[in-house]
Structure 1
Amino acid sequence: MAIKCLVLDVDGVMTEGHIIYSSSGEEIKAFHAQDGLGLTLARKAGLKIAVITGRVSDMVARRTSELKFDFVRMGSKNKSKDLMELMETFQLQPEEVAYMGDDLNDFGVFHKVGFPISPANGVEEIKAKAAYVTKARGGHGAVREAIEKILKDQKQWESLVASYKNELYEQGQ
């Protein structure tokens, strides 16, 4: 597998899929910390990371900025069109792209990438078309699991883990 880019949906993939509003009307999302480190590892391994989501959210803007995403498209009306723009921008072939989505609005993109992924909580139609279905649910480490799968298949996982072991040793922990 020669994946060079991981593209994610947000609600139901990076989060549990709940849309929560505070009493002041502010939207609240919870992201899994292990997914965050997984995305950092993906970047260290040379993968581009991207988000294409139909919703617009300040929390998503903050999270993708913190994790230095290469491409962020919020408010997407046509995920397939946005995927094609991303592939053109980074000169990627379909077989070099993994996409993780959980619901019917991700269906079109699944047919345009080399490695479609669904979290465990994906709808049946999406899971049936996925090349890989995580054991974890969205918002509960599914992104990390998908990244580990990709990096292990590319024989990069062990060296990344070793770099963390060495870093911890140097810090005296």
Structure 2
Amino acid sequence: MTKKLPANAARAKKIKLFLMDVDGVLTDGKMYYIPGKGTEMVEFKSFHSLDGIGLRLLNQFGIVTGVITGRESPGTEERAKSLGMGYAYQGFLSKLEPLRQILADTGLRPENVAYMGDDWTDIPVLKKAGFACAPANAQEEVKAAAHLVTAKEGGMGAVREVCDFILRSQGHWGTVMDYVETAHWPAIKKDPIKIVRESGGRGK
């Protein structure tokens, strides 16, 4: 799962913002199309509930989450809203500018950012992030740029692995287990989400 466990734990302790790609990370990368109105085709994506719990827990402990993706999808926007994400940048194949904007908005430094991606378009952000992560199904060049490569593939709980690693590294695991034992799950904090769409965003 990790290249250097102690070093990665030190990186994860600093994380206050977890950003990620969508296709191949939050999903398995497959896209489904069904007929909509008239000649319109509607795109569907599949998200894993394991990732949802992990992201909800990060939200609970004050770690902001968000997506930067090359495609625009109503499903992505709805998923981001339901998980209380702070940012949803869609249609951006070049992802450094969204990162710059988010850092300016939050006042955070790159060392406070975890990023997870699976393809070449993610590499520039991975190289900037303080904690760079990739799912097991990522391109080899992406894995080489990552500090942590998960055992699971995108859309199959890979994001959850990163969430759990951050929670453990920051000393929150005992509280998480208390939630489990008492069946008390705090309500998700749904602050206003910042949604940015780049025109013509039909890329990855």
TM-score when normalising by structure 1: 0.94
How far apart, in 2, do the equivalents of 1:98 and 1:69 lie?
Answer: 14
The CA distance in 2 between the partners of 1:146 and 1:87, in whole Å, is 20
Question: Secondary structure of 2:114's match?
Answer: strand
Query: Conserved in 1, the CA contact under 8 Å of 2:93 and 2:121?
Result: no
- 1:77 offset after TM fit, Å? 3.9
| Deviations, residues 74-97 of structure 1 (Å, cap 9, x unaligned) | 111420111011011011111100
Amino acid at match of 1:10: V
| Relative contact order, higher structure (CA 8 A, sep 6+) | 2
Name the residue aligned to 1:17: 29
Q: What RMSD in Å do the two structures reach over aligned CA positions?
A: 1.0
How far off is 1:161 after superposition? 2.2
1:124 is the counterpart of 2:140: yes
The answer to whether residue 43 in structure 2 is matched with residue 43 in structure 1 is no
2:168 corresponds in structure 1 to 152
Give the counterpart letter for 1:19 in structure 2. M
TM-score for the superposition, normalised by structure 2: 0.80
How many residues were matched structurally?
168
Partner of 1:136: 152
Alignment of 1:15-164 (within 5 A): 15-24=27-36, 25-164=41-180
The letter for the 2-side match of 1:121 is N
Structure 1 position 46, deviation (Å): 1.0
Secondary structure of residue in 2 paired with 1:120 = coil
SS in structure 2 of the partner of residue 92 of structure 1? coil
Q: Give unmatched runs, 5+ long, in structure 2.
A: 1-12, 185-204
The range that moved more, 98-107 or 78-87, is: 78-87
SS in 1 for 2:47: coil
Give secondary structure in 2 for the equivalent of 1:117.
Answer: strand
CA contact (8 A) 2:19 2:114 kept: yes
Percent identical among aligned pairs is 40
Q: Which runs of 5+ in 1 are unaligned?
A: 169-173
Instruction: State the 1:166 CA deviation.
Output: 1.6
Take 1:161 and 1:142, find their aligned partners in 2: how far apart are those partners? Answer: 20
> Residue 152 of structure 1: CA displacement?
0.7
In structure 1, give the amino acid aligned to 2:65. Answer: I
SS, match of residue 128 in structure 2: coil
> Runs (4+) of structure 1 moved beyond 2 Å?
none
Identify the residue that residue 196 of structure 2 maps to in structure 1.
Answer: none
Amino acid at match of 1:163: Y
1:171 paired residue number = none
Per-residue deviation, 1:53: 0.5
What is the rounded CA distance, in whole Å, between the counterparts of 2:126 and 2:68 in structure 1? 13
Q: Is 1:166 aligned with 2:178?
A: no
Match of 2:17 in 1: 5
* Matches of 1:143 and 1:111, distance apart in 2: 18
